[in-house]
Chains A and B, each alone.
Chain A
Amino acid sequence: MEQFSIPLVVLLLIVFYGGTFWISLRISKKQENADGYMTAGNNIGFGISAASMTATWIWASSMYASATSGYTYGISGPIHYGLWGALMILFIYPFGKRIRTVAPKAHTLAEVMHARHGASSQLLLAGSNVVGSLISLMSNFLAGGLLIALLSPFNFVQGVFIVALGVLLYSLWSGFRASVLTDFVQVAAMLGAVAIIVPFIFFAAGFPAAFETGAGNLTAHQSNFFSSEAFLQQGAPYIAAVLAYAIGNQTIAQRLFAVREDLIKPTFITATVGYGAMVIGVGMLGVLALYLGIEPLDGDTNNIVPQMASSYLPIILLVLFFVMIIGALSSTADSDLAALSSIVMADIYGQNIAGKENANPRTMLLIGRITMVLATAAAIALASLQLDILDLLVFVGALWGALVFPVIASFYWDKVTNAAFTTSVVLALAAFIPIRFAWISMDGVTGIIVDLLNVVGIGVVLGLMAFGFFGRRVALGVGGVAALASAPFVIGFLHDYATLSGSLVAYAVSTIVCFAMSVNSRSEFDFALIRQRTGDFDEADPDDDPVLSAKGGN
């Protein structure tokens, strides 16, 4: 594979990380504001927020995995990866609007759970957010290390350190503000690169003629757009995870609280389209590789995208490709750092150690910055283990399924209590783990019970999706019909698919338990209390005042 020389790769990294550091310096303030460090004042415009949401959701692994899906499952593969990933953004937006209505000035979703229920619910959600962000951070450092090792004379460990320190450099001082502003530059580089690189490789590799000469390289499943194998192996587990990822991922919640409230809808829709087109577009490189009969280097399908780029792009476009991948992983890594620091600042220090009224914004900022440094060190250490990232993510995504119904119900139903939330999540996790890891035999009655829960899980997932857009009555109809229609195909069959089954059981158990414990509850929670219990930690900052700021506040 073609490699860059050391001077060239050093120059590229200096330009990329030096440029993003320069941008962060331009917006840095001597005295940063704790709320700005977490949510940038809850007033970001459409351009920056849409760019940031898109950049954050696109990471290096999503491009590699989409191409892997195209290479493995054929022409429908990238759709079964990218479309469902994109819908994760779309389906959370109606819930996002509700969340912003009841908690307009919050910083994290877990902080809102503290206001709604108390510490145990908050810490369950915050804990799952921390695990997810740490895995994501690690995987982005890992992808950076692999890319640098593949395309330059530097080795993997050197690559991991370069990426980790580069991201930390520009994120540390201004936190979320630096993250979202640099996201615009990164997303422009990423989207621009895909718009050029994919058509270039397409024609350079001999397409469209290669569709005819290479058709024999595809199996019947791979050449069928409606392949059931692609749906069951790739698409269905992602549909189940659509809401779970969005609920469990603090990077999404953080942008939800940062964007101006009236711009939530266009921001989420634009990010949905941008993410979907970009990831599916890169995934098409896997389909092209399949038609060309290309074998992945070392048998690792993660090498397909770099291989295609290295084989068909001239050096100038290969440089663009390198910037695209570095931009993708850096934009997600800086968002993970900002998410982790916010959770520790708002949820651990702000709500549980100091308390909302006594929290010192200066101490919070210090804690946020220390968190970024420690998280970077932890992610570097974990990256050196070179774990299977996609396996970890699918595991965490399914795990988050346990949280979806209790979290969403807590924003709409006044009867949900802290006990119902906590018990339902813990029991769902207890049911999920043995099924996901096949610790119990699925023979006989156990398999049937699991399949009945799978049927409920399907109803819950589709019902919740409908609920966000159309309300309770339509949701009950959609959920009921989906459960009944799927039952004949699911019972006696689906328990063999451990990943999907574990996720659906987590949805089902948490929903059944939460509903059963809440339906006769005498609790009548007043949602107006959430607005009072969440909000700014800082006093009004002169820098945030347009008049004072124009007079030299910054």
Chain B
Amino acid sequence: MELSTILLTAYVLVWPLVVAIVLGVIGKAFFSEWAEARRSGRDLI
């Protein structure tokens, strides 16, 4: 496989990877806030 093909493959597939990481960060923060709100008897929003 040519180098340019490998670079193009990485260029296309890196974005879904970053998206998955962001989803993990947001999801983790959301559920910890939810748990904290339940513990302290507050509304989440």
Contacts and interface: CB of A to CB of B under 8 A. Distances in A.
Interface of A: 27, 40, 44-48, 50-51, 54, 75, 177, 180-181, 184, 187-188, 191-192, 194-196, 198-199, 202, 207-209, 211-212, 270, 273-274, 277-278, 280-281, 284, 287-288, 543, 546-547, 549-550, 554
29 contacts: A27-B44, A46-B33, A47-B27, A47-B28, A47-B30, A48-B30, A48-B33, A51-B30, A54-B26, A75-B8, A187-B26, A188-B23, A188-B26, A188-B27, A191-B23, A191-B26, A194-B16, A198-B13, A207-B12, A208-B5, A211-B5, A273-B18, A274-B19, A278-B19, A278-B22, A281-B18, A287-B12, A549-B42, A550-B42
B12 A202 contact: yes
Given A40-B45, A181-B44, A270 B4 contact: no
Interface in B1-45: 1-2, 4-6, 8-9, 11-13, 15-20, 22-23, 25-34, 40-45
Contacts of B44: 27, 48, 181
Contact of A47 (B2, B8, B33): B33
Contacts of B5: 208-209, 211-212
Given A40-B45, A546-B40, A194 B19 contact: yes
A44 B42 CA distance: 12
Contacts of B31: 47
A277 B12 contact: no
Contact of B15 (A50, A54, A211, A277): A277
Contacts of B22: 54, 191, 270, 273-274, 277-278
What DSSP secondary structure best describes chain B's contact surface? Answer: helix
A191 B45 contact: no
Given A211-B4, A211-B5, A550-B41, 7 more contacts: A47-B29, A50-B26, A202-B13, A209-B5, A277-B16, A278-B15, A554-B43
Given A273-B18, A287-B12, A47 B26 contact: yes
B29 A50 contact: yes
Given A207-B9, A546-B40, A177 B19 contact: no
B9 A211 contact: yes
Contacts of B18: 273, 277, 281
A442 to B, nearest CB: 38
A281 B13 CA distance: 8
Contact of B26 (A211, A270, A550): A270
Given A207-B9, A208-B6, A211-B5, A27 B16 contact: no
Contact of B45 (A48, A188, A273, A284): A48
A324 B22 CA distance: 16
A288 B15 CA distance: 14
A176 to B, nearest CB: 9
A270 B23 CA distance: 10
B20 A191 contact: yes
A278 to B, nearest CB: 5
B43 A543 contact: yes
A409 to B, nearest CB: 34
A546 B42 contact: yes
B29 to A, nearest CB: 3
B12 to A, nearest CB: 5
Contacts of B32: 47
